[in-house]
Amino acid sequence: MSTSTSYKRYRVRMGPALALTAALAGLGCNYDALSVSDTDGEGDVRRGGNTTIAFIGDQGWEAAGQANGPRAVLQLIEDEGADAVLHQGDFDYLDDPAAWEQQIDDVLGPDFPYFVSVGNHDVAEWDSDGGYKARMEARAQRIGVAWTGELGALAALEFEGLYVVFVAPGTLGSDNSVYADYIAERLSANDAVWSICSWHKNQTLMQLGSKGDETGWAVYERCREGGAIIATAHEHSYSRTHLLSDMESQVIASRSDTLEISEGESFVFVSGLGGKSIRDQDRAGDWWAAVYTSDQGANYGALFGEFGVDGRDDLAHFYFKDIDGVIADEFWVVSGVGG
């Protein structure tokens, strides 16, 4: 997929968010204008201005010619017209960086923007010659994306107007407070409308499975205070919180599926259905807005975020889509940050 054109490609989707038309009208957004435009002659909608990011984690590896998990998700990402991937850790589970990157290249191409956060299953080959970090650095350099810090572990970059902070709480050796301080520093130093905090692991109450408290709450709170969206994985399911004004105490600021983020209110998601396995739901809580595990019949998929829809820099459309075409979650986000 070329990154040189100013036009992006979008599939026409019919999902549960069509019921949000009235809510969007109240925000001054015309859903029809957002969904339908000129086509490229292949049945795909072509529009300028939007940037679509695919969020995945816990991917795994499968051989060329197979497409039941990891490769099927990558193909979904290509089919949805995503402009980049943000991968929240755990790559191939084989400690084979070359094979893992080849899997990406086979489907998305060697110059597709692909950014990662290191996961616990990536540590052994993270810093090695030709390892995961070296390959992701080379990829970013190849496509002309600059960053500060250690890419994938303690770094920040800007892509198409999105500001992304990568940290590794509970995964690499630094004390978790180092990551929290870095998040606060980086978010306070930029005025982007959209900021994303990306890491792999979780606190127990921020996932639906059996994971323990591994990151500390400070990283969550610093992102919330900076008005950043929090992207995680580690648990092999999909879940999303309501808009929260306190992460540690799970204080719900709004239950609306149009989330208005600000400095002090944001949300968390776990997108861990990248292809490795699918787990069941072990816990619940009223702070969860969406749940998609084996108990709900989940399949592998990705969360897509379309930023800048309808010509509005402050409006984003999110949906989780699996490889069967099921839309398991769909919501809108309005940013009151930066700009």
Q: What is the pLDDT of residues 113-146, one digit of tens each?
A: 999 999 999 999 999 999 999 999 999 999 999 9
Q: Is residue 274 assigned to a domain?
A: yes
Residue 137 lies in a domain: yes
Span 239-252, pLDDT tens digits: 999 999 999 999 99
3-state secondary structure 184-220: HHHHHCCCCCEEEEECCCCCHHHCCCCCCCCCCCHHH
| Alpha-carbon gap, residue 104 to 110, rounded angstroms | 8
Residue 185 within a domain: yes
How many domains does the chain divide into? 1
DSSP 236-262: SSEEEE-EEEETTTTEEEE--SEEEEB
Q: What is the pLDDT of residue 212?
A: 97
Residue 108 lies in a domain: yes
pLDDT at residue 85 tops 80: yes
CA 223 to CA 246: how far, in whole Å? 11
Q: Longest C-alpha distance within the chain, in Å?
A: 54
Query: Tell me: the pLDDT tens digits for 250-292?
Result: 999 999 999 999 999 999 999 999 999 999 999 999 999 999 9
Nearest to 281 by CA among 177, 193, 207: 207
Q: Say how far apart CA 173 and CA 151 lie, in whole Å.
A: 15
CB atoms within 10 A of CB 21: 15
Q: Are 187 and 217 in contact (CB under 8 A)?
A: no
Q: What are the tens digits of pLDDT across the range 25-61?
A: 444 443 333 333 333 333 333 334 699 999 999 999 9
> Is 223 a member of any domain?
yes
56, β-bridge pairs: 87
> Model pTM?
0.88
Confidence label for 174 from pLDDT (cuts 50, 70 and 90): confident
Query: 212 with 205: CB under 8 angstroms?
Result: no
Q: Give the E-state strand segments of 111-166 in sequence order.
A: 114-116, 147-150, 154-159, 162-166
Residue 1 to residues 77, 101, 109, 321, Cα–Cα distance (Å)? 11, 16, 7, 20
Bridge-based pairing of strands 288-292 and 238-241 is antiparallel
Q: What is the pLDDT, as a whole number, of residue 138?
A: 98
Amino acid 117: pLDDT: 99
Residues 69, 300 contacting (CB under 8 angstroms): yes
Per-residue confidence at 192, pLDDT binned at 50, 70, 90? very high
48: containing domain: 9-335
**For 300-311, what is each residue's pLDDT tens digit?**
999 999 999 999
Please tell me the distance from the alpha carbon of residue 145 to that of residue 190, in angstroms, as a whole number: 17
Identity at 271, one-letter amino acid code: S
User: Does residue 318 fall inside a structural domain?
Assistant: yes
Q: How far apart are CA 153 and CA 169, in angstroms?
A: 9
82: CB partners within 8 A, 6+ apart: 52, 53, 54, 302, 304
Spatial contact of 38 and 290, defined as CB atoms under 8 Å apart: no
The domain that holds 120 is classified in CATH as 3.60.21.10
Residue 192 lies in a domain: yes
* Tokens read off for 102: 């080849």
Residue 1 lies in a domain: no
pLDDT value, residue 1: 34
